[in-house]
Amino acid sequence: MSDLLLVRDLRVRYPLDGGMASILKRNRRAYVDVVHGVSLNIKRGETLAVVGESGSGKTTLAMALCGLVPLSGGEVYFDGKILATGKDGCLRPDRRRIALMFQDPVGSLSPRMTVRKLLAEPFRIHKGLSDDPDRSALDLLSMVGLGTDFADRYPHQLSGGQARRVGVARALALKPDLLIADEPTAGLDVSVQGEVLNLLADLQQEMGLGIMLITHNLNIVRHVARQMSIMYLGRFLEQGLSELIFSHPRHPYTAALLAANPSPDPDATPQRVKLTGEVPSLLQRPTGCEFHTRCPRVQADCRESFPGRQSDGGDQTWNCFHAIV
C-alpha cells in the first residue's frame, strides 16, 4: 500500500534575531535548528508514535506538517502528491484532510463558544460538507461518547477528559485522512487516558485514519502504535516497528529511555542504563551525533559525523556507529 504521508529530510529552523546579543556577537549563528532532517512515513489506518522529551522538536514537527511554521528544507508528500509551500515557506496542506489535535485541551477551545458552536464551526468554514451544521455537531458529540446535554456547555464547564473528547470531535469533524495528535493524553489519569486512546483506536478502524501520535509516555506507545520513532534534539535516532524496538532497542538512547521507564511494581529492581550529563542546548548543537555528550558507548568517530541510517534488513533502523547488538 502506498504511504498516506511521506516526509523526506524535513528541516525547521527558528531565527534568533531581535535580541541585543545576536547583534553584538556577530559570529553567532542566527538560528536554531529545531527539526534537523526528519524522514518518516505513515500508512492509512496506521499509527506512528513520535517519542521524545520536551524540547526535542516533536511539536514543531507537527506544526510544520500542518503548515503553521515555515520549513527550511525537505519535502512532504501527502497521498502521493507533493505538498507545495507558500510564499511564507509554510506548507499548504489541504486542511480538510490533515487535522491537528493540540496539546492543551481547554486552551485550544475558544472560551466564548459553546460546544455546539465549536463543533459546528468547521462546517461553517468548509461549506458544502454538511447541510445542517448543528445536526452534524450533535452527531459528532455522540460519536465521541458525550451526551447532547454537553452541547450548550462552555469549555470551562468541561473536565480535562471531556475537553479532550471535544478536541477529538473537532479534529475529526471533516473526516480527515490524517490526524496529528500532540500529547493527547498529557495530564490525564490512567483511566481517562484509556478512554481517549480507545476512542481514537475505534475511530481509526472505522474511518481508516492515519495517526501521528506525539507523546513522551512510553507505556501507551506499545499498545496503540504499530510504528515508533525516537526523537532527540530534532533528529530521529531510531525508527521501526514498536514491537521490535521495545524488545530489542539498538540505539543507546532508546535503550536508556526504555530502561528508565519506572515500573509500577514496588518489588522491581530497576536495571538502569546510566546516562550522565545534560541535554545539550540547541544553541550549541554538538558536532557529530548529538547524543555523544551523554552516550555510554561513545567513541571518537561519534564526535565527528552524524551516523547514517543503519538496519539489518528488518523493520527497524537506527543512526548509530556503535549500536547495541
Partner 1 sequence: MATPALDIRNLSVSYQTDRGELRALRNINLQIPAGRIIGIVGESGCGKSTLISAIIRLLAPNARISEGEILFRGDDLLGLDPKAMRALRGNEISVVFQDPMTSLNPVLTIGRQMLDVQHREKHPKAKKRARAIKMLERVGIPDPAEQLNRYPHHLSGGMRQRVAIAMALMTDPGLLIADEPTTALDATLEAQIIYRLQQLQRDFGCAILFISHHLGVIAELCDEVVVMYAGEVVESGTTRDVFLKPQHPYTRKLLDCDPARIKQATRKLPVIDGSLPDLLELPGGCVFRPRCDRCIETCAIERPELKGDRHRVACHVAGL
Query: Is there binding between residue 82 and partner 1 (CB under 8 A)?
Result: no
CB 279, min distance to partner 1, A:
5
Count the residues of the shown chain that bind partner 1, applying the rule CB under 8 A: 49
Q: Which is nearer to partner 1, 110 or 159 (CB)?
A: 159
Q: Cβ–Cβ contacts within 10 Å for residue 279, how many?
A: 16
Query: Is there binding between residue 2 and partner 1 (CB under 8 A)?
Result: no
Query: Is there binding between residue 142 and partner 1 (CB under 8 A)?
Result: no
Element (H, E) at 255: helix 252-260
β-pairing, 31-43 with 3-15? antiparallel
Q: Which is nearer to partner 1, 144 or 275 (CB)?
A: 275
User: What CA–CA distance (Å, rounded) separates 295 from 284?
Assistant: 17
β-pairing, 3-15 with 98-101? unpaired
Residue 7: exposure state from Cβ atoms within 10 A (0-12, 13-18, ≥19)? buried
- Which of the ranges 34-42, 260-268, 297-305, 313-321 carries the binding residues for partner 1, by CB under 8 A? 260-268
User: Residues with Cβ < 8 Å from 139, sequence gap 6 or more?
Assistant: none
Q: Which of 151, 155, 149 is nearest to 133 (CA)?
A: 151
Instruction: Say if residues 215 and 198 touch (Cβ distance below 8 Å).
Output: no
- Can you tell me which of 40, 172, 275, 320 binds partner 1, judged by CB under 8 A? 275
User: Of residues 15-74, which lie at the interface with partner 1 (CB under 8 A)?
Assistant: 52-56
- Which of the ranges 37-45, 86-94, 118-126, 258-266 carries the binding residues for partner 1, by CB under 8 A? 258-266
Q: Which of 85, 83, 76 is nearest to 35 (CA)?
A: 76
The residues that bridge with 15 in the sheet, in sequence order, are: 31
Q: Which of 319, 116, 315 is nearest to 233 (CA)?
A: 319
Q: Which is nearer to partner 1, 76 or 183 (CB)?
A: 183
- Which of the ranges 79-87, 98-106, 255-263, 296-304 carries the binding residues for partner 1, by CB under 8 A? 255-263
Over the window 168 to 197, marking each residue x when it contacts partner 1 by CB under 8 A and - when it does not, the resulting string is: ------------------xxxxxxxxxx-x
Instruction: Say if residues 319 and 289 touch (Cβ distance below 8 Å).
Output: yes
CB 274, min distance to partner 1, A:
9
Q: Which is nearer to partner 1, 253 or 318 (CB)?
A: 253
Query: Is there binding between residue 285 and partner 1 (CB under 8 A)?
Result: no
The DSSP letter of residue 301 is G
- Which of the ranges 71-79, 100-108, 170-178, 268-276 carries the binding residues for partner 1, by CB under 8 A? 268-276
Q: Which is nearer to partner 1, 140 or 257 (CB)?
A: 257
| Sheet with 73-78: strands ordered across | 31-43, 3-15, 73-78, 81-82
User: Of residues 223-252, which lie at the interface with partner 1 (CB under 8 A)?
Assistant: 223-224, 242-243
- Can you tell me which of 272, 287, 304, 309 binds partner 1, judged by CB under 8 A? 272
Q: Which residues bind partner 1 (CB under 8 A)?
A: 52-56, 159-161, 186-195, 197-198, 201, 216, 218-220, 222-224, 242-243, 256-258, 260-268, 270, 272, 275, 277-279, 281
